[in-house]
Amino acid sequence: MFAPMPTTIVTTARGWTAVLAMCATPAIAAAQQRDSVPPPVHADSQPAAPKPRPWYERFTLRGYTQVRYDDAFLKDDGYACQACDRGIGGVQDVSVRRARLVFNATPIEQVNFKFEIDLANTLNNQQFYLQMRELFGDIYLEKSKNAWVRIGLAKVPYGYENLQSSSQRLPFDRDDAINSGVPGERDLGAFFIWGTSKAHRTLRAMADSGYKGEGDFGIFAIGVYNGQGANKPEANDSKHVAARLAYPFLLPGHQIVELGVQGFTGTYNLTSDLRTTGVAAPEGYDFKDRRVAVSAVLVPRPIGLVAEWNWGDGPRYDPTLNATVNGTLDGGYVQAMYRIVLPKGRLLYPYARWQHYEGGKKNEVDARFYDVDEFEAGAELLVIRAVELTAAYVHGDRTFEDGAAPDNVHSADFLRLQVQLNY
């Protein structure tokens, strides 16, 4: 048996053990910290790919409906406009002008798909027939999405008001002069659209922030399309070509001015369903169809102005010859508006527009000849985001002549009312 160690030695050993433990603790902690630090990231390492958006964030469904009473106090039942609201003239009634449903989808980041339908079409005196209004895909050519190719049934890049959605436009109908260049605003074709990131942001803000913009159609757009009009098949071997150059300039005082120039050229065929028996066509039924237009827009902040004018040639009915011939055309419009911000987020837009057009409308019977001077003044009230109310007074003088009505002149004053529901 060993003898027990002296108490002094044991106490001393315990003291040195405690001192050594205290000295070792920081070193152990530092070692543990070094072990817990992740390894350095090398230059050739790739960041983790972002998670794809859920499927329910890759599509949107929206639309609007316009219910109208068009011809209060109208005394001349013959006053009409085929390309405008067909509720004007004849029996005074309540009508649904548009009932749109728009579906947008982004299956992958470089592709966008859109289709738009309208449920308020009339066929053979029967109402509420469905019609396809847009059906196209956008293929983005770069990650910045500043340039893309649009393929399908889409709006032709011609005219500020033509590109503007009817849900945004203040006057009840598009003007005769610019709209007659591309009836229905759309056609089947392929279009290239480009703009800077800054311009894209500005154009989208003009449409999305209550400034009545035309939407994002870029700075430059060019396209090749059939040329017979929306929802009509090609009728000859000639394609139309359209191009547009427009830029939104940011001015001092937060003002925005957009200036644009556009044009198209092609050959239009007056198909058999648009010919009146006995009306001649000495030059045949294929007609030159070419126009150039200028646009100037002052965004309403709070005062706004829009002016567009176009010149060109195309088919037109000549009552002196009782024939459809090539002829010149010109016309446009000037519009003033004011944006008033009311309590509770309401917006009021008083506006006034004068328009003039002299020329043919290629998509109507015998390329019906028009001589139009019309003034419209009214106001739109955004009650809540889902409800808009519009009222307008119209004074117009219209001559519209074809083989069945070679001397057709009308003048009218009337009141128009509309409720627009957004969803």
The pLDDT tens digits for 231-288 are: 999 999 999 999 999 999 999 988 999 999 999 999 999 999 999 999 999 999 999 9
Mean pLDDT of the region 322-333:
98
* pLDDT average, residue stretch 333-352: 97
pTM for the predicted model, two decimal places: 0.86
Contacts 24+ apart (CB under 8 A), 300-303: 300/211, 300/212, 300/337, 300/338, 300/339, 300/349, 301/211, 301/254, 301/255, 301/256, 301/339, 302/338, 302/339, 302/340, 302/341, 303/336, 303/337, 303/338
| Cα dihedral sign, 175-181-184-185 | negative
With a cut of 90, say whether residue 48 has pLDDT above it: no
Instruction: Write the DSSP string, 34-65.
Output: HHHSPPPPPTT--PPPPPPPPGGGSEEEEEEE
Q: Which two tokens stand for residue 421?
A: 């529901």
* pLDDT for 143 beyond 60: yes
What are the DSSP calls for 200-231, one per residue? HHHHHHHHHTTS-------SEEEEEE--S-TT
Closest to 372 (Cα-Cα) out of 183, 222, 178: 178
CA distance 195 to 50: 26
pLDDT mean over 168-179:
98
* pLDDT number for residue 188: 98
pLDDT digits (tens, 9 = 90+) for 92-135: 678 999 999 999 999 999 999 999 999 998 887 788 889 999 99
pLDDT of residue 10: 35
Cis? peptide before 4, omega within 30° of 0? no
Higher pLDDT, 90 or 218: 218
Cβ distance 380 to 392 under 8 Å? no
Domain boundaries, the chain: 55-422
pLDDT for 99 equals: 97
β-strand partners of 105: 59, 113
Nearest Cα to Cα of residue 284 among 267, 298, 300: 267
The residue among 92 and 400 whose pLDDT is bigger is: 400
Distance CA 220, CA 262 (A): 10
pLDDT higher than threshold 90 for residue 360:
yes
SS3 76: coil
What end-to-end distance do the CA atoms of the chain give, in Å? 99
Residues 7-31, mean pLDDT to the nearest whole number: 40
- Per-residue pLDDT, averaged over 30-42, amounts to 44
Tell me which fold the domain 55-422 belongs to: Porin (2.40.160)
